[in-house]
Structure 1
C-alpha cells in the first residue's frame, strides 16, 4: 500500500481528505456493495477530485481497506470501553462486550454493513482486517483475567454470524439488541454449560448491560441534504414514473440487491423530504413529494438539455444544470480536476 506521504501529500489536510474519501466509501459500500463502487462515485460523494484521490490512495481497494480499518477501530473502541467498566469477572466482561458490540452496530448501520457484510465480500486485505479484529475482541475479554474460560475466536465468529444473518434477513430494520441474549448463550454454553449459559442469556435479555457507546460522528452523515448520487437520481426518476412502487420493485429497477440497503436508501430520501410512503397504508410503497417531483422534473429537463449525440449523459453535467436552480441539494465535485 502506498501512503499519502509517499505520493507527495501529507499533513492534516491530506489526512482530512483521506478520512472524507474513506467515509464516502463506507456509505457507498453499505448502500450499493463494495464491488459496485467506483472511484468516480467515491469522489462525487466526498466532493474531492479524482486527481486528489490518486494522490492519496493507490487504488479503489486501498480506500476500501482504510474505510474498513476506521470502522473496525471505532467498534473495538466501543467494546474496549465497556469491558474496562465491567471489571475483572469474565462473565461480566463477556456481557459488557456483547452489549457494546450490538449497541454500536445498531447505532450505525452503515458501519455495521461494512464490517459485517462487505468485509466478507471484499478483498483479501479487508478480510485480514476482519480476522485481526475478531482476535482483538477475544483478547479484550480474556486478557489479564488469569485462569478463566477463554472466549475463543469461534465464539466471536458466531457472534458476528448472528449479526450477518440479521442484517441480510427479513427483519434487518429491527433492533440488533435482540441478538445479545442468543449471542451470550453461544459464548457461555461451551464453557459454563447449557443451564448457566441460559441463565446468563436471560439476565442480559432482561436488562442491556450499561455500555459506553462511541457515537457515529466521523463518517459522512445521513443528513437532510440530499446528495445527488447515481442511485438517488435513478430512484427519483423511477418512482416519479411508478408511484406506489414497492421496495422490491424499486430495488430491482435501480440495481440494489439487499432489502436492508434499499430500505436505508429510501428512508434517506424520506428524511430529505423527497419521498414519502403512500397513503394507502402500505409501509413499503413509495411516491415522491412535491420536492421530489420537482427534482425529478429538473433531472429529466437536464437530460434533455445534454448532448443529443447518443452516448447518454454524465451525472456531473446534470448536477451542473440542476444545481443552477437547486444548489442546496447538490454536492458538486471539482469537475476541472476530473
Structure 2
C-alpha cells in the first residue's frame, strides 16, 4: 500500500498579499508617479487580482496611506538604530541625518510622493500627516533626551524644533529629487542645519 503524501500548498498568507500590493504601488509610483497610478497598475505589478486588492484596501488612497506609514516607520527604525547615545552629540546628529537620507534615497520616488502627494488626500491626509508628525516628534525628543546631549548643553528638542527639522529636511529632499540631484549631496547642509537648530543656545 502506497502512503499518500498531502499536497503542499503554495497559497500565500494574507500578509504576503498585502505586502505584494504595497510593493506594487511603490513600483508604480517609481514608474509613473502616484497621481497616474491606478488600481489596475498596482494589481498588475503585484501579480495578483482586483479581488485580492479590495480584500485588503478599499481603494488606492488607503493603500497609499499604508505604504507611506510603513515607509515612515522603517525610516524611524533606521534612524534610531544608527544613533549611539554614547557618541558626541554632533556625531549623533550626523548619523541620524545620514540614516534618514539613506532611507529616503532607498525609495526616492516614494519619499518624494510622501512629501508632495499626501497633502492632496483630503481628510485622510490630515490624519496621516498628524500621525506621522507625532511619531517623528517622539523619535527626535527621545534621541535628544540623553545624558551625552545634556552634558553638552543640548536640551531635549521641543515640539517646535522637531517640526521645523522635519519640515525643512522634507522640503530639501523633495526639491533635490525634483532637480535631479543626489540626496547624498545634501548631507552636509542637512547636518549643519540640524546642529545649528538643536545645539546649545549660548
TM-score with structure 2 setting the length: 0.75
1:180 aligns with 2:187: yes
**Structure with the greater alpha carbon radius of gyration:** 1
Of 93-102 and 27-36, more deviation after overlay is shown by 27-36
Aligned to 1:164: 174
Aligned to 1:77: 77
CA distance in 2, matches of 1:17, 1:189: 45
Q: Any idea what SS the aligned residue of 1:143 has?
A: coil
1:101 aligns with 2:100: yes
User: How many residues of Structure 1 are paired with residues of Structure 2 in the alignment?
Assistant: 181
Aligned to 1:47: 47
Indicate how the Cα distance of structure 1 residues 58 and 108 shifts in structure 2: closer, same or farther if over 3 A, else same.
Answer: closer
Aligned to 1:141: 143
Q: Any idea what SS the aligned residue of 1:34 has?
A: coil
C-alpha RMSD of the superposition? 2.8
Unaligned runs of 5+ in 1: 1-11, 197-338
**Contact 1:116 1:164 (8 Å CA) reproduced:** yes
Unaligned runs of 5+ in 2: 1-11
1:161 Cα deviation from its structure 2 partner: 1.6
Indicate how the Cα distance of structure 1 residues 192 and 81 shifts in structure 2: closer, same or farther if over 3 A, else same.
Answer: closer
**Contact 1:40 1:50 (8 Å CA) reproduced:** yes
Query: Which aligned pairs between 1:31-70 and structure 2 lie closer than 5 A?
Result: 31-70=31-70
1:140 Cα deviation from its structure 2 partner: 4.3
**Contact 2:76 2:136 (8 Å CA) reproduced:** no
CA distance in 1, matches of 2:137, 2:21: 27
CA distance in 2, matches of 1:162, 1:187: 12
Query: Which aligned pairs between 1:1-338 and structure 2 lie closer than 5 A?
Result: 13-83=13-83, 85=84, 87=86, 89-122=88-121, 123-124=124-125, 125-145=127-147, 147=150, 148-151=154-157, 152-153=161-162, 154-169=164-179, 172=180, 174-192=181-199
Deviation per CA, 1:156-205, whole angstroms, max 9, x where unpaired?
32122211110112xx2x321221111122222245479x9xxxxxxxxx
1:35 Cα deviation from its structure 2 partner: 2.9
TM-score with structure 1 setting the length: 0.47
Which of the pair is proportionally richer in helix?
Answer: 2
Indicate how the Cα distance of structure 1 residues 137 and 27 shifts in structure 2: closer, same or farther if over 3 A, else same.
Answer: farther
**Contact 1:24 1:42 (8 Å CA) reproduced:** yes
1:100 Cα deviation from its structure 2 partner: 1.0
Q: Any idea what SS the aligned residue of 2:13 has?
A: helix
1:53 Cα deviation from its structure 2 partner: 1.1
